Amino acid sequence: MRFTLLAGIALLLSLSARAADFVAPPPHPIAGFADFEVFEGEVTSHRLKAGYRFYVDPARGALFAVMRYRVRPGGGEGSPTEKFVWNQQPGPRAPLRCFEWVEGRGGGAWREIRPGGVAYESEMVTLRLVLAEQNRDYRRQVHQAAGR
């Protein structure tokens, strides 16, 4: 399992994407977040390059209820990948619901990645990297705005 996680992290080193790359509609069970506040951007570091959109439920303050991110092999070659991670039950400790966009004939479809498997654990590592880089980028912007 460690090898799979490390291989996934190594793959992320060469990936890039933009927030404008999102094309798929949300997965079917995720609805009703049109009025959420949206934070979107792109992160680039030595560990990760990705576009993201995070949605904050106005009733829950600073909690990202839905996290959408997209990574694509550098240079635009290879298959893009897009993920939707949904905090369906904020509060109680419950696994996040994770969906992956799978390209296919006639467009594509969302496939749920179920908790407990290697693919889910690997995706949670990716999500933590995206969140960490987004947080680092946000702090950098705040420091620049403050003139530090």
Q: Is the pLDDT of residue 14 over 60?
A: no
What's the pLDDT score for residue 94? 87
What's the pLDDT score for residue 72? 58
Give the span between the Cα atoms of 49 and 45, in whole angstroms. Answer: 6
Whether residue 26 contacts residue 53, with contact meaning beta carbons closer than 8 Å, is answered with no
- pTM, entire model: 0.73
**Digit-coded pLDDT (tens) for 52-100:** 888 888 887 777 888 998 875 444 445 557 899 998 877 778 899 999 9
Q: Assign 2 a pLDDT band (cuts: 50, 70, 90).
A: very low
Residue 41 φ/ψ, nearest 5 degrees: 175, -165
**Digit-coded pLDDT (tens) for 29-55:** 776 777 888 888 887 777 667 888 888
What's the pLDDT score for residue 79? 58
Q: How, if at all, do strands 64-73 and 49-56 pair?
A: antiparallel
